[in-house]
Amino acid sequence: MDEVKNLNKDNSLDVKARLKIKRHEMASQPPEERRRNFKEVPYGYSPEEAMEEAKRCIQCKSEVPECVKGCPVNIDILGFINLIEKGDFLAAAKKIKETNSLPAICGRVCPQEDQCEKLCVVGRRKDTPPVAIGNLERFVADYEAKYGDTRITVKADKGKKVAVIGGGPAGLTVAGDLCKMGYSVSIFEGLHAIGGVLMYGIPEFRLPKEILLRELKVLEDMGVEIFTNVVIGKTFTIDELLEKKGYSAVFIGTGAGTPKFLNIPGEELNGVYSANEFLTRVNLMRAYNQSEYDTPIKRDKTLVVFGAGNTAMDAVRTGLRLGYEDARIFYRRSRKEMTARLEEVHHAEEEGIKFEFLINPVRFIGDENQNVTAVECQRMELGEPDESGRRRPIPIKGSEFITNIGAAVIAIGTNANPIVPKSTPGMDLNKWGYIIADENTGRTTKRGVFAGGDIVTGAATVILAMGAGKKAAVSIDEYLRTGTW
Amino acid sequence: MYEIVGRKSMGEGINLYNILAPDIASKALPGQFIILRVYEKGERIPITIAKTDKNDGTVTILVQTLGKTTHMLSELNVGDSLADVVGPLGIPTEILKFGTVVCIGGGFGIAAIYPIARALKESGNKVISIIGARSKNLLLMEDEMREASTELLVATNDGSYGTKGIVTDVLKELIYDKKEPVDRVIAIGPVIMMKAVSDLTRDKSIKTIVSLNPIMIDGTGMCGACRVLVDKKTKFACVDGPDFDGHLVDFDNLMNRLKFYKEEEKASYECHIKEHHHG
């Protein structure tokens, strides 16, 4: 250890030595403890661990390092890791914030294994896992919040106002970037609290609301105006914002937002929830804390969650924490086709969540009070690949079976929310109701109106929405400077 | 924060509130609703808008005290504020010249039917309104309803005023006995009443619109808690409604869904009352 420290002082650790250091996993709450509480799962790195992990980066010499190519918001990953290695954590935080205003969130919820860490040169070698870029990002963001000054002073000197519709990841990114460029920015949020999916969807144990509020406060302190309880399309329309309220441009980041159901008999029974409802009750309305908050949620014996994406993992792990004795995943494909992050699946399994594959629900069964008591499912087998490239599940005849349940959560995805699109003439939609917007600029077919995130792409990830927000901010600035559409 | 600038007790645990919410007041159309939260730890509840005043920027609602949230609301006075009010939500009621329209309001559903009746009359319809209450002194908004209608019919359970009975008795008499030609019926009130009205008009093939009030959270189509079965298809009351064709609505399902949290609601109310009265 001492030897390593000494080497580190003059930063002369050679590549070979760097590759010998083992990847540091974050210490976490033990599964048997955390499965019954809503506290965050990992504790995060200590400064020593962060510095050690930073040493694993071999500081690739290429013009754009591989890891950065994998980052939707182009964080100078090499730069911030180098600063961590030197022990200058606050400078590392500033380095990240040059391109990303929400590092504590991204460090927690980004699928790094599919992005920066997937391309990491260290990780591409046979025996060395990638540098833990996400864990390092999280560490410096938390360190800065504790010991540094997160305030950013900006001057709104551009004399132009931009309206951002939806306070989720895309909207927050656009707002932050435009504010830094000197625009006056207003966020219009339909719910009583901003954050979008970060607030209503992602549970406390994965993203503590305190951390979200901390990053939101930075935006507010920067001068971003926040209007909650405003449903654009209902309270105001986009045309009113542009024509009457003095906004020169509008960014729409309203998310995908409207839950898909299975369309099978019995879905209307009590105790059958969409993942959005289940998670909104617990996260936004804080139903997990029933002694203080008024919104109710049921606790029962068996919960089955249908689906195998990140939302399904969030729902099933939430169910366990609420007190369901048995919380399970039923998925119509196999383990291989699951879309959830491996880390989430791993955490869920550690906590005792059972995964059952190649199972498809065909009907829900209720009691005389129309409360769900069971679900009938059929077994599936995998056939040829479908349009998603994954093998299509096909029902096995005569394989039906009944499972007793106390509640069911349907986490099979979302559709486009119609409120903004329907109230905005002149803005074209695709056949699924999502807004048509240029991938690189976010421009819609309506002058002055930009869009990005799930309302354009369909349900994706927080970081992709943020990436779309970054691009849109650049092109909104260009539009407002040049006036050309 | 949304200030309460007017408040009036209407009896039977029903209170009227004027809430300062200019953006909503200037936009709301008949049939739309708001969602409110009394305080920062409270639940979100949907309430149909009874009146709006664009000039003073107020939204008027009538609320019956039924549980903790509405009880907390009932304890607020002029000058107090609500944590959150959002709206106007839902699709406005279709207002066209239909001919003769019967507007039925039961209980505090009268508050919701009132702006609809008024708009229909202004659009040139013959509006026959039927409103009901247990007793004469509990009848809500009678003067307003009389002014908003071409003809006002009243039912009271005890017969102290108008026809003795319930609103469906009056409707039955109107369309079956008097054979009044009716082009459309709009009914807002307890689910059981809307169901009874829809059953009555089905045989006569009179188009009947009902306004549904399921449990809601966001009110913007995001959560699906408010889903109702209409023509055996799943619809979201918040964005597809709240108005639906009464002949296609599965009212039994709606009643069951409304009951789902009864135990929790009761416990929460009792706990609140207990704390409240013991300091």
pLDDT given for residue A11 in this prediction: 57
CA distance linking residue B247 with residue B231, whole number of Å: 8
| Nearest beta carbon to residue A296 from set B220, B252, B265 | B265
Nearest CB to A267 within list B84, B89, B234: B234
| Secondary structure (H, E, C), A428-461 | CECCCCCECCCCCCCECCCCCEEECCHHHHCCCC
Whether residue B135 has pLDDT greater than 60: yes
* pLDDT at residue A5, as a whole number: 45
pLDDT confidence tier of residue A1, bands split at 50, 70 and 90: very low
Q: How far is CA A304 from CA A201, A216, A342, in A?
A: 18, 34, 20
Q: What is the pLDDT of residue B277?
A: 65
Question: CB–CB of B260 and A371 under 8 A?
Answer: yes
Residue A39 in this model has a pLDDT that exceeds 70: yes
% of chain B at pLDDT higher than 90: 86
Instruction: Give the whole-angstrom CA distance, residue B117 versus residue B127.
Output: 7
> Which among B170, B179, B52 has a CA at the least distance from the CA of B118?
B52
Q: Select the more confidently predicted residue: A126 or A253.
A: A253
Torsion-angle region of B146 (φ positive above 0: left; ψ -120 to 50: alpha; else: beta): alpha
Distance CA A485, CA B189 (A): 51
Q: State the complex-level ipTM.
A: 0.94
Report whether A406 contacts A324 (CB < 8 A). yes
Q: Do B222 and A280 touch (CB under 8 A)?
A: yes
Instruction: Decide if B176 touches A, using CB distance below 8 A.
Output: no
Q: Please tell me which residue of chain A has the smallest CA distance to B26.
A: A235
% of chain A exceeding 70 in pLDDT? 98
Residues paired with residue B164 on neighbouring β-strands, in sequence order: B156
Q: Quick one: average pLDDT of B59-77?
A: 93
Q: What is the mean pLDDT of chain B?
A: 94
Mean pLDDT in residue range A60-89: 94
pLDDT category of residue B278 using cuts at 50, 70 and 90: low
B residues 77-96 closer than 8 Å to A (CB): 83-89
Block residue for tokens 């909503």? B24
Does an H or E element contain A48, and which?
helix A47-54
**pLDDT above 70 for B60:** yes
CA separation for the pair B194, B186 (Å, rounded): 9
Mean pLDDT of A53-82: 94
Distance CA B250, CA B244 (A): 11
Judged by CB atoms closer than 8 Å, whether chains meet at A235 and B253 is answered as no
Residue B57 to residue B59: CA distance in whole angstroms: 7
- Out of A267, A274, A294, closest to residue B223 by CB: A274
Strands annotated E in B93-189: 100-106, 126-133, 151-156, 163-164, 184-188
Say if residue B85 is exposed, middle or buried (CB neighbours under 10 Å; 0-12, 13-18, 19+). buried
pLDDT tens-digit map of A357-403: 999 999 999 999 999 999 999 999 999 988 888 889 999 999 999 99
Residue B64 exposure: Cα atoms within 13 Å on the Cβ side: 14
Q: What is the pLDDT of residues B15-24, one digit of tens each?
A: 999 999 999 9
pLDDT digit string, tens, across residues B70-125: 999 999 999 999 999 999 999 999 999 999 999 999 988 999 999 999 999 999 99
The token pair at B51 is 């009146």
Give pLDDT, residue A150: 80
Q: Mean pLDDT throughout B262-274?
A: 87
Q: How far is CA A400 from CA A405, A454, B124, B192, in A?
A: 16, 36, 58, 37
B259 inside 8 A of chain A by CB: yes
What is the arithmetic mean of pLDDT over A290-311? 93
Residue A7 binned pLDDT confidence (cut-offs 50, 70, 90): very low
Q: Is the dihedral of CA A35, A39, A42, A48 positive or negative?
A: negative
CA distances from A397 to A348, A375, A377, A384, A433 (A): 31, 17, 11, 18, 35
Mean pLDDT of A102-118: 93
Query: Average per-residue pLDDT in chain A?
Result: 93
The model's pLDDT over A443-473, given as tens digits with 9 standing for 90+, comes to 999 999 999 999 999 989 999 999 999 999 9
Which pLDDT band holds residue A157 (cuts at 50, 70, 90)? confident
pLDDT of A107 over the 90 cut: yes
Q: How far apart are CA B202 and CA B141, in angstroms?
A: 29
For residues B201-225, one letter each, b for 16 or more C-beta atoms within 10 angstroms of the residue's C-beta and e for the rest, the string is: beeeebebbbbbbbbbbbbbbbbbb
Chain B: nearest CA to A127, how far in angstroms? 45
How close A84 gets to chain B, by Cα (Å)?
A: 40
pLDDT band at A2 (very low <50, low <70, confident <90, very high): very low
**All residues at 6 or more sequence positions from A264 whose CB lies less than 8 Å from its CB, including other chains:** A361, A362, A363, A364
Q: Between A208 and A154, name the one with better pLDDT.
A: A208
Residue A57: strand, helix, or coil: coil
User: In terms of CA atoms, which chain A residue is nearest residue B257?
Assistant: A270
Q: What is the pLDDT of residues A414-447, one digit of tens each?
A: 999 889 998 999 999 999 999 999 999 999 999 9
Question: Which residue in chain B is spatially nearest to A277 when comparing CA positions?
Answer: B223
Least Cα separation, residue B225 to chain A (angstroms): 6
Length of chain B: 279
The CA-to-CA distance between both ends of chain A, in Å, stands at 59
Tell me the pLDDT band of A33, cut-offs 50, 70 and 90.
very high
Residues of chain B in contact with residue A228, where contact means CB-CB under 8 angstroms, are 84
The residue of chain B with its CA nearest to that of A267 is: B234
Which residues in B lie closer than 8 A to residue A296 (C-beta atoms)?
43, 261, 264-265, 268
- DSSP assigned state of A335: G
Q: Cβ distance B142 to B135 under 8 Å? A: no
What residues in A contact B27, CB-CB < 8 Å?
Answer: 234-236
Instruction: Please determine, for residue B279, whether its predicted confidence score (pLDDT) is greater than 60.
Output: no
